[in-house]
Amino acid sequence: MEEIINKVAQSGIVTIDLEDYYPEGEIAVFDVKDYLFMGMILKEKDFRAALQGLDWEVYRDKNVAITCSADAIVPAWAYMLVVTYLEPIAKYAAFSDAEYLQRSLYLRKLAAIDANKFVDKRVVIKGCGDKTVTEAAYVEITRLLRPVAKSIMYGEPCSTVPVYKKK
C-alpha cells in the first residue's frame, strides 16, 4: 500500500484565520438624539439630569458606539460627558456608528499582530467561516504582511487564490 503524503502540511504554509481576531463583546449604541429637546436642541441642565438618572449598567462590558442620529448641532462636551459615564462600565466606547466601531475594533486587534512572525513565510488568509469578516480586515492583514511575507494567498491551503508573491 502506498503511503499518503500530505503535501499541504509539508509546504510550510501558514494559515491566518481572521475570525481569530474578530472583536469580542456586544456592540451597543448610545444615541444622543434620545436626549434632545424637540429632537434638535441640547439643553445642558436637562441633558445632565438625564445622564445622571440613566441606568448605565445596560452598557456593562459592551462596546458602545456614541452617536447622534438627528440632524442637530451637539456640542463636543456632550459626547465627552457621555464617555465619563461609559468609561468605567463599558468595555470600550468611541464616537462612531455601530458598523464603524466594529471595523475599528477589528483593525485594532489586527494591528497587534507581530508581522515579524511571517518573515519569508507563505501565508494563506482563510476565506470562509462563520463570522462576517469585513473587506477592511482583509485589506489590513494584506497591508501588514506584504512587506514581510514571501507570498500571500486567499482561501484554504488546498485551494488558494494568489494575492502577492515577493520577487
Please report, for the chain, the start and end positions of each structural domain, with discontinuous segments joined by +.
7-23+110-165, 27-90
Residues 12, 18, 19, 25: is their CA dihedral positive or negative? positive
Note down pLDDT in tens along the chain; length 167 residues. Answer: 676 654 545 467 999 999 999 988 999 999 999 999 888 899 999 999 999 999 999 999 999 999 999 999 899 999 999 999 999 999 999 999 999 999 999 999 999 999 999 999 999 999 888 888 889 999 999 999 999 999 999 998 778 899 999 98
Q: In the prediction, which pLDDT does 76 show?
A: 95
Residue 39 confidence (pLDDT):
82
Task: Write down the pLDDT at residue 116.
Answer: 95
Alpha helices in the chain (DSSP H): 7-10, 44-53, 76-86, 98-111, 135-145
Element (H, E) at 93: strand 92-95
| pLDDT score for 29 | 98
Cell of 31: 444615541
Report the distance separating Cα 68 and Cα 29, nearest Å. Answer: 10
- Residue 110, sorted as left (phi over 0), alpha (psi -120 to 50) or beta, turns out to be alpha
Q: Are 64 and 35 in contact (CB under 8 A)?
A: no
- What is the grid cell recorded at 55? 441606568
Distance CA 62, CA 66 (A): 12
pLDDT of residue 134: 87
At residue 101, the pLDDT reads: 94
Tell me the CA distances in angstroms from 15 to 3, 53, 114, 116, 154, one per residue in order: 25, 49, 15, 15, 9
Q: What pLDDT score does 6 carry? A: 47
